[in-house]
Structure 1
Amino acid sequence: MTALLATQRYIQNLPKYLTLCEHNYVRLLKLLPSEQTKQSIREVKLGNSEFAVKIDDMAKYTMDVSIKQLSGMVKGITPLYLTVRLYNDAKVAEIIHHDYHQRIKPSYGYPNPKMHQKDEKYQLNAFLYDWLVACVEHGQATLNWDVNNGLV
C-alpha cells in the first residue's frame, strides 16, 4: 500500500483552480492604480503593513503586476513579493513569480530537493485570494493629493 501512495501523482482540479483565478482577477482590478499605464503604482495599507501594487508590463491581452511589501516586515520573514499576470481575454489572474523565484510549476513530485508542496501553485494563488480579500475589505489606498495646486 505504501508503494501505491508513493506513485500517485497530484492532479490539479482545473475548474476549482480557474474559479480561484477568476476571483483573483476581479479583486486585483480593484487594487490597480487608477491610471493604468506601465510603471504606475498604487500603495495600499493593510494593518501595520504597506504594499505597492505596480503595473510592470502591459500587452494586448495580458498585464503583469508586481506586489511588494514596503513596510511592516516581520524579523526573520522575507517581505512579500509577488508577480501576478492578468489575462484580460480570459479574465483570470495567477501568480507567475513569488519571492524572486522564477517559475512555479503546476505540480511538484514529493519529496523534492526544495520541499515544494505538491499543489504549491494552487496554494500560492489561494494565498493571493486571501490577501486580496483583506485588501479590498479592510485596506486603505494612499491618496497622493497635491494641496498646493490651488484647488484646496
Structure 2
Amino acid sequence: MLAQAYRQNLPKYIRLCEQNYARINRLLPKQNDKGAVNKVLVGGFEFTLTVLEASPYTNLVSLKQTDSQVIGFTRPDLNVRVYHDAKVAEVVCKYYPKRVKPSYGYPNPDMHQKDEKYQLNAFLKDWLEYCINQGRSTFHWDTDHGVV
C-alpha cells in the first residue's frame, strides 16, 4: 500500500491564522511604531512583544520569553508577520534558512514534520492564549510627568 501524501487543510490553517491575528492584537504594544515593546508577566515568566518592522499593512513582531525561573530549557523566541489588511498572523521562523513550507515529505533530511507550518502556528496560538488568560501586562507609572 502506498502512503497518501500529506495535504494541508487550507481553510483550517487560515482560520488558525485569523484567530492568531485577533489574539496577538490584544497583546501588541499600543504604538504601532518600530521598536515599541509590551511585556506580559505570567507566573515566573516574562514575555516580550517587540515590533521589529512597521508598515501600514504589515508588522513583524518578535515574541520572546525574556525572563524565566526555569533554567536549562530553550525559551520560546518567534517572529510573527501580522498582516493587517488580510487580518491574519503567521509565524516567520528566524531559525529556518528559508520560509517554512506548507508541508514536507516524510522522512526528510531536516526532520521536519509533515505539517510543520501548521504546528508552529498552533504553538503560537497556545502561547498567545496562555499570555492572554494567565498574564498581566506591565505598566510603569510615570510620576515625573503628571500621569499619576
Calculate the TM-score normalised by the size of structure 1: 0.89
Residue 144 of structure 2 aligns with which residue?
148
CA–CA distance in structure 2, aligned partners of residues 16 and 120 of structure 1 = 14
Residue 53 of structure 1 aligns with which residue?
49
Residue 14 of structure 1 aligns with which residue?
10
Residue 27 of structure 1 aligns with which residue?
23
CA–CA distance in structure 2, aligned partners of residues 77 and 111 of structure 1 = 27
Calculate the TM-score normalised by the size of structure 2: 0.91
Counting only pairs closer than 5 Å after superposition, residues 1-152 of structure 1 correspond to structure 2 as 1=1, 4-5=2-3, 8-72=4-68, 74-97=70-93, 100-102=95-97, 103-152=99-148
**What is the Cα deviation at residue 73 of structure 1?**
6.0
Coordinate RMSD, CA, aligned: 1.5
* Identity across the alignment (%): 53
The AA in structure 2 aligned to 1:52 is: T
Q: Is the 8 A contact 1:107 1:118 kept in 2?
A: yes
Gaps of at least 5 residues in structure 2 are none
Q: Is the 8 A contact 2:40 2:138 kept in 1?
A: yes
CA–CA distance in structure 1, aligned partners of residues 125 and 34 of structure 2 = 24
CA–CA distance in structure 2, aligned partners of residues 50 and 69 of structure 1 = 6
**What is the Cα deviation at residue 77 of structure 1?**
2.4
Q: Is the 8 A contact 2:54 2:60 kept in 1?
A: yes
Q: Secondary structure at the match of 1:56?
A: strand
Gaps of at least 5 residues in structure 1 are none
Q: Secondary structure at the match of 1:130?
A: helix
Aligned length: 147
**What is the Cα deviation at residue 34 of structure 1?**
1.1
